[in-house]
Amino acid sequence: MAWLSIAPVKALGLVHPDAIDLGPHGVSSDRRFFLVDGDGRLLNGKRVGRLVQVRPTYDERAETLTLAFPDGSTVTAATDGGDPVVAELYGRSLPARSVGGELAAALEAFAGEPLQLLRVDEPATAVDRDRAGAVSLLSVAALETLADRAGVDGPVDARRFRMLIGVAGVEPHAEDEWIGRRVRVGSAVVVPAEPVGRCAVTTQDPATGVPDLDTLRVIGDYRRDVPTNERIPFGVWGRVEEPGRVALGDRIELV
């Protein structure tokens, strides 16, 4: 296993734990928070790329969130309580609560526009592909192939794709062949369901949020014959069939 990456707050920087617990709906702290603008629409990295420069630390037991900003300042506050709201996310209505105070004010100042910070009531419900599951896998070799196709040195930074699990030691895009099959990941079993369709966030430098690589053009060109409804497929989504613990260095193999 090459990496583990979660996003406690959608659009903000990734967190790379040494181990995760995969429950029926994924990792409970992953995408627990998200942002909406003044009109209630999702505010993500495609609209405000620099949000990725903010590093979140979420303590589930204490129910606190810490935000570290690129100027070295940090803000920590409790995230429980708050006014109940029903947010629209990817065509779904999600019960959530507004997280105001210092956290929202600091993010609003950094983003430069009005926003709300929301915390979903049910863990692991704010993922992008709820219909397919909350587990995503991408092979390291796929990143190396992308770099070669794009004419850049070294593998493309995995953080561009914001995938939960990195798979080492397999052929490029081996994960495509796992769709519909049972895959053991640590002590958990997942079933990949479909390819992930990529968006403009992957064109951005994952450290700054500034576009610097036309990933969509390159992937769309060399992956055009992949049998899927996704126009730009890269990596796969899956569901958790057997919950379990997953740690860096664990084996990933077909059952």
Per-residue pLDDT of the chain (255 residues; tens, 9 = 90+): 999 999 999 999 999 999 999 998 899 999 999 999 989 899 999 999 999 999 999 999 999 999 999 999 999 999 988 999 998 887 788 899 999 899 999 999 999 999 999 999 887 677 775 545 689 999 999 999 999 999 998 889 999 999 999 999 999 999 999 999 999 999 999 999 999 999 999 999 999 999 999 999 999 999 999 999 999 999 999 999 999 999 999 999 999
pLDDT for res 184: 98
Q: What are φ and ψ of residue 107, in 5° steps?
A: -65, -40
User: Domain limits of the chain?
Assistant: 29-120, 135-254
Cβ(66)–Cβ(103) below 8 Å? no
Cβ(12)–Cβ(207) below 8 Å? no
Q: What is the DSSP letter of 46?
A: T
User: pTM of the predicted model, to two decimals?
Assistant: 0.94
For the beta carbon of residue 253, count every other beta carbon within 10 angstroms. Answer: 10
For the beta carbon of residue 234, count every other beta carbon within 10 angstroms. Answer: 27
The sign one gets for the Cα dihedral 75, 81, 47, 132 is positive
pLDDT for res 130: 54
Q: Which CATH architecture has domain 135-254?
A: Beta Barrel (2.40)
149-160 tens-digit pLDDT: 999 988 899 999
> H helices within 26-175, ranges in order?
101-111, 140-150
pLDDT for res 129: 57
Strands (E), the chain: 3-4, 19-22, 33-37, 55-59, 64-68, 74-78, 84-89, 92-99, 115-120, 135-139, 165-167, 183-185, 188-197, 233-242, 244-247, 252-254
Distance CA 133, CA 146 (A): 25
